[in-house]
Chains A and B, each alone.
Chain A
């Protein structure tokens, strides 16, 4: 059977309406296949399971009291966004593999070689092009989201947030952080060089850190604030946060730094402004603001 697929010429006039199947029609026909419906259901179930798992993940992240800063909130939001946009892709992948494994398309057991070959599908341009477009779009979204969020947290960390966006317009505090095997030391250069081994910061005030090390590489990780930067010998790195929650949170070293790396941890106390001021005075400092 031959089908005339030439475009209509002028003599023939406009194309007659034909009953050639539309893509939608083909798709509906495809949906009639038994495996198609089942795969769609499997995909939905797996994606839903994954989305549920992301709540569990963020629950784990908050078990020690976070989020305690806007940065940490941004990180958790990003977790959700990344997980959710990836969910359909993950669902499809696992659904097909699972369906094939449980024998949805049949399977051959035993040690005798199957006598019958599967369908000889070597390519399917809809599948390959569609997949490539889907994945590329996904990656593009991830990149754009990531870049915007990175710019966001960098702004939080390095103090370039516009004044009216800061939690309050109080003067910021700079803290010099020194890592050495195996303690953290915090010095407040603006407060007459108060020095302490437990970080004390007032709530809702931008804190900026200069970080360095006296010996090997450490990593300054304020867990519930979502802030981390390496402390490198011979170099100074910068980070910062604005605490949004009162309480005591953890600081750990996140880079193997020798024998007692595991014990190189301390705490950050987020206190009110008044408590902070009196703490500074008790330690012989001057509140300069």
Chain B
């Protein structure tokens, strides 16, 4: 990116009047960290459980004959956990200081940003966007590991066709937990680490717009995970990640963990989205017009926008579900006037945009990085932006394609089939941008670039099976079968996770100062990719043969495809472990990388590694977009010559090379 610099130095400005300093810089937050959060969370959880236990008798039953008392107790316990954890980490210090008028001084802000602190800053309410990015990276990798482990259990059960390894309750619980853990992990895996670490630098800002909200979003996410994980100990959430009602209302109290997690995670997502979007809109460097913004930033913006708008629907659907359990309302209890279709609508109103929330940042990251490895401008930037916002627009009006077969309004299938098939147009725009950028370029075969090819393959398979599923007649056969499972794994894992791996490999040097080991990273990546094809191509076959999803045992007709799937899944597991080992090893002792390891022109490649505290010594001014690669086109020159020759009436002298 061509940049000029202006001298807007800020911290040395002597005339900034400071508010009164109360105590040492940082105040109460000096004493808050992960350990105090854990202790307070557990204490409050126990306290809430005990106190509500004194007031509930445990005899009253709700509409589904589940005792209300224990529901109230468990709910109080989880709420106590979340509130206690957030108090312990120091999340409430900010609002209270605001209320009291004790605004942060510069020294306070420096302390909060983790300046001059050791590794402890990773365990605290630290506001620096680079710290938050690393925290997100660790958390999302832990979530992916947990979800992956559950996936291995699922495939083991399905591969062992001759016996039941798990009881139905446990099996149904692990499919539900696997689903929702992976969804949460995939929502944060690009927007979290890279959106927080890279985007502010990429747009030329010194930090996010709201640094303290940034810390709040990551710690809310951390607080949200234990309720979800603990459901396995509390009877499980045995209803799939969609937790359709009223089945979920029958489930054991583990379901409350799911509901509390989604509500907490909803706040986390909304806060993170607001923060990212405000940063992108308001804090771009001088001269970075909307036509000079790197495409990755557009991807993050679009993803945040969809999450911001639609996540509350999902959150409210879980509020209602929780109140059905705890105060016995009847949103989803048909006998008392509730409707299962209400739940399905509210759920899928987020449920479908969420797919794009997951996929868009990853794909945008690929667009951003492939340019660098192909040494060619991004092909048709405007087309890419149009594609991204086309997806955002259409994502709002396609949710009913998950409900074609529910019978809630058969005539609505016609318009929603139309809108669903329309969405292939903006998606294909992004494909064209990828292909046009590859066109006649010489790829530099590093791992991130090779991952682009892998993702194109996965996207094509996922996309074309999506065409089948968007068609109501075909969906009438496919809906609820393994075909659907294979399709969305191709999109969410094949396009989403593999592009996240590429993006993390690409920005790894900037985040850690070291190269991600290309050799072992690639081996892990391609082993996982191969296993992925095996697993999910044969899962398509199982679906076509008529195997429903979420079953524990099945007709022997489906045995062969399930055996192949299970072998493939283990191969994915091995590949992912190799990749993880490469990440950990490179982080500890990889080759030291220079500030701009791949010769990129975006702003984040221009700042030193490790990135200095305020990112930029002087704020940059942007004079062009970051895609100024390319030499004159030899074919163009040749065509010019030929045209000139033809028009001059002379025979063409230049042959095709």
Q: What residues make up the interface of A, taking CB atoms closer than 8 Å to B?
A: 1, 3, 18-21, 26, 29, 32-35, 57, 60-61, 63-64, 71-72, 74-75, 78-79, 82-83, 86, 89-90, 92-94, 96-98, 100-101, 103, 105-109, 111, 113-114, 116-124, 127-128, 131-132, 135-136, 138-139, 142-143, 145-147, 149-150, 152-154, 211, 215-217, 219, 221, 223-224, 226-230, 232-235, 237-239, 250, 252-263
A-B contact count (CB 8 A): 324
In the complex formed, the residue of A with least CB distance to B472 is: A150
Q: Determine the chain B residues whose CB is within 8 A of the CB of A72 once the complex forms.
A: 477
Query: Known contacts A79-B474, A121-B439; can you find 4 more A-B pairs with CB under 8 A?
Result: A101-B453, A136-B425, A237-B407, A254-B548
State whether A74 touches B473 (Cβ < 8 A).
yes
From known contacts A97-B435, A256-B239, infer whether A233 and B246 are also in contact, taking CB-CB under 8 Å. Answer: yes
From known contacts A109-B445, A254-B548, infer whether A114 and B375 are also in contact, taking CB-CB under 8 Å. Answer: yes
From known contacts A107-B443, A117-B631, A142-B471, infer whether A230 and B407 are also in contact, taking CB-CB under 8 Å. Answer: yes
Q: Determine the chain A residues whose CB is within 8 A of the CB of B446 once the complex forms.
A: 111
User: What is the bound-complex CA distance between A138 and B386, given in angstroms?
Assistant: 19
State whether A107 touches B630 (Cβ < 8 A).
no
State whether A117 touches B630 (Cβ < 8 A).
yes
Q: Determine the chain B residues whose CB is within 8 A of the CB of A103 once the complex forms.
A: 442-443
User: What is the bound-complex CA distance between A190 and B546, given in angstroms?
Assistant: 31
In the complex formed, the residue of A with least CB distance to B337 is: A234
B:535-589 near A, CB below 8 Å: 540-541, 544-546, 548-555, 557
From known contacts A120-B630, A256-B239, infer whether A106 and B247 are also in contact, taking CB-CB under 8 Å. Answer: no
State whether B247 touches A257 (Cβ < 8 A).
yes
Q: Determine the chain A residues whose CB is within 8 A of the CB of B553 once the complex forms.
A: 262-263
State whether A100 touches B467 (Cβ < 8 A).
no
C-beta contact mask, B508-546 vs A, less than 8 Å → 1, else 0?
A: 000000000010000000000000000000001100111
From known contacts A116-B631, A262-B551, infer whether A82 and B444 are also in contact, taking CB-CB under 8 Å. Answer: no
Most buried by A among B338, B432, B473: B473
C-beta contact mask, B409-439 vs A, less than 8 Å → 1, else 0?
A: 0100110011001101100110110111011
Q: Determine the chain A residues whose CB is within 8 A of the CB of B374 once the complex forms.
A: 118
From known contacts A118-B441, A143-B417, A150-B417, infer whether A252 and B467 are also in contact, taking CB-CB under 8 Å. Answer: no
State whether A114 touches B444 (Cβ < 8 A).
yes
Most buried by B among A101, A118, A123, A229: A118
State whether B407 touches A238 (Cβ < 8 A).
yes
State whether A216 touches B250 (Cβ < 8 A).
yes
From known contacts A108-B444, A226-B477, infer whether A143 and B418 are also in contact, taking CB-CB under 8 Å. Answer: yes
User: What is the bound-complex CA distance between A122 and B312, given in angstroms?
Assistant: 39
In the complex formed, the residue of A with least CB distance to B244 is: A217
User: What is the bound-complex CA distance between A61 and B557, given in angstroms?
Assistant: 12
State whether B550 touches A261 (Cβ < 8 A).
yes
Closest chain-B Cβ to A136's Cβ sits at a distance in Å of 6
State whether B435 touches A128 (Cβ < 8 A).
no
State whether B340 touches A233 (Cβ < 8 A).
yes
Q: What residues make up the interface of B, taking CB atoms closer than 8 Å to A?
A: 168-169, 172, 238-240, 244-247, 250, 334-335, 338-341, 374-383, 405-408, 410, 413-414, 417-418, 421-422, 424-425, 428-429, 431-432, 434-436, 438-446, 450, 453, 456-457, 460, 464, 467-468, 470-474, 476-477, 479-481, 518, 540-541, 544-546, 548-555, 557, 598-599, 627, 629-636, 639, 642-644, 646-649, 656-657
The 5 A-B residue pairs whose C-beta atoms are closest, nearest first, are A120-B630, A234-B334, A237-B407, A254-B480, A262-B551
In the complex formed, the residue of A with least CB distance to B442 is: A106
User: What is the bound-complex CA distance between A19 and B651, given in angstroms?
Assistant: 11
In the complex formed, the residue of A with least CB distance to B377 is: A122
State whether B172 touches A256 (Cβ < 8 A).
yes
Q: Determine the chain B residues whose CB is within 8 A of the CB of A100 once the complex forms.
A: 438-439, 441, 443, 453
**Main secondary structure on chain B at its contact with chain A?**
helix
Q: Determine the chain A residues whose CB is within 8 A of the CB of B434 once the complex forms.
A: 97
State whether B471 touches A121 (Cβ < 8 A).
no
User: What is the bound-complex CA distance between A113 and B432, given in angstroms?
Assistant: 26
State whether B169 touches A259 (Cβ < 8 A).
yes
User: What is the bound-complex CA distance between A116 and B467, given in angstroms?
Assistant: 40
Q: List 26 A-B contacts (CB under 8 A).
A: A21-B642, A94-B456, A97-B456, A105-B441, A116-B442, A117-B375, A118-B630, A124-B379, A128-B432, A143-B421, A143-B422, A150-B413, A217-B340, A223-B546, A227-B476, A232-B334, A235-B339, A239-B407, A253-B548, A254-B479, A254-B480, A256-B239, A257-B247, A259-B169, A261-B168, A262-B554
Closest chain-A Cβ to B549's Cβ sits at a distance in Å of 7
User: What is the bound-complex CA distance between A119 and B609, given in angstroms?
Assistant: 30
State whether A256 touches B550 (Cβ < 8 A).
yes
From known contacts A223-B546, A260-B168, infer whether A119 and B472 are also in contact, taking CB-CB under 8 Å. Answer: no
From known contacts A19-B647, A96-B435, A150-B414, infer whether A234 and B471 are also in contact, taking CB-CB under 8 Å. Answer: no
State whether A101 touches B443 (Cβ < 8 A).
yes
State whether A135 touches B424 (Cβ < 8 A).
yes
User: What is the bound-complex CA distance between A281 and B632, given in angstroms?
Assistant: 86
Q: Determine the chain A residues whose CB is within 8 A of the CB of B378 once the complex forms.
A: 122
User: What is the bound-complex CA distance between A127 and B434, given in angstroms?
Assistant: 13
State whether B340 touches A147 (Cβ < 8 A).
no
Closest chain-B Cβ to A199's Cβ sits at a distance in Å of 16
Q: Determine the chain A residues whose CB is within 8 A of the CB of B545 once the complex forms.
A: 60-61, 63-64
State whether A119 touches B634 (Cβ < 8 A).
yes
State whether B476 touches A101 (Cβ < 8 A).
no
From known contacts A74-B473, A216-B247, infer whether A142 and B407 are also in contact, taking CB-CB under 8 Å. Answer: no
Tell which of B247, B421, B429, B644 touches A142, judged by Cβ atoms closer than 8 Å.
Answer: B421
State whether A123 touches B554 (Cβ < 8 A).
no
Closest chain-B Cβ to A231's Cβ sits at a distance in Å of 9
Tell which of A93, A113, A234 touches B599, judged by Cβ atoms closer than 8 Å.
Answer: A113
